[in-house]
Copies of this chain bind each other. A is one copy, B any other.
């Protein structure tokens, strides 16, 4: 197993203070991992509001189905996360196991099982062994002291090479509000033990519908704008919990100008976590942004940007520090979206490489080769149709990816 810390990782886990209204405990079942927590239990202060976004997979795990129902019924007591087994494709037994897990958590948190979100991440297709799990909850001794944000972030990881957290502080109507979040994933995308989860907590006082609108909107340009290998997890879940403890009046309108700083801060935090996931992409050695402009609309721009970011030939060229822009032309062409070949413009960082359907006049291979040695790259493409624009972030495709994935289960 490939556990060396990603060269693209941030220097360290951010310093995040405890958040009033959120209590967290972590525990170690020892089922799959040694010397690290693999269970996270979180209690939300009442009356918290919760928003959620889930995988679009048609083969979602039992925990995803449970948590979707939780969201529908307005569950807001707590959250239980387990790492090591995703409880996906486990039939009726999988669903029954989720109910049991909710029962354990409800006992520990003194609430109704229907009020606890459940998330699991790990191997697909293997029934859960609840034995070691149940033992933990017999005496709840792991709840004697609360866990730190960094330990919480560790408890939800699988193949991640580092723990991922972020903090933002902003004002709503003159009151300081805190947002903090943790995430796990080596891509949004790798199934098995690298599915993406993120849990974000704030003491802001925001009604559930506004919270959900914010989360859905910002997901589109953060967690839904990253890709490692184009594969979609069966367990992806993002939850945003607002305890309402901050001393401002509840926000109930999306257009309330008092919400603007919070929305900006939440966007920065979610983008930060999303980037941390890509920076931990399996085997990644380069982090790159693809900016597409001039598309028919924003949706078309996203399709083209994803076609570029997911192209194995583009990703391997970046790994090889090769400014092979012909592969960008290919990836635009295969996207299925409108592009005017003879107006196509491509830049690598500040360097124009192609314009109007031809190699740029000042094209200099040496300058480009030097640019490609950076560990963070920007690719900009204008497709010459209209004003649609979108940016996605991704990582390169290296031997490390093959090493990790060619023999993952053994």
Contact = CB atoms under 8 A, between A and B. Distances in A.
Contacts of A91: 342, 356-358
Contact of A317 (B324, B331, B408): B408
Given A190-B313, A324-B408, A59 B333 contact: yes
Given A327-B191, A333-B232, A354-B89, A402 B410 contact: no
Contacts of A55: 333
B329 A88 contact: yes
Nearest to A355: B91
Nearest to A324: B409
B58 A325 contact: no
Contacts of A124: 326-327, 329-330
Interface string A202-246: 000000000000000000000000000111111000000000000
Interface of A: 55-60, 88-91, 93, 123-127, 190-192, 229-234, 310-313, 316-317, 319-320, 322, 324-327, 329-339, 341-342, 344, 354, 356-359, 397-399, 401-402, 405-410
7 smallest beta-carbon distances between A and B, as pairs: A124-B326, A320-B406, A59-B333, A232-B334, A57-B333, A316-B405, A91-B358
Given A123-B326, A316-B406, 17 more contacts: A58-B332, A88-B329, A89-B329, A89-B354, A90-B358, A124-B329, A124-B330, A125-B329, A126-B359, A229-B312, A230-B312, A231-B313, A312-B397, A317-B408, A324-B408, A399-B399, A402-B402
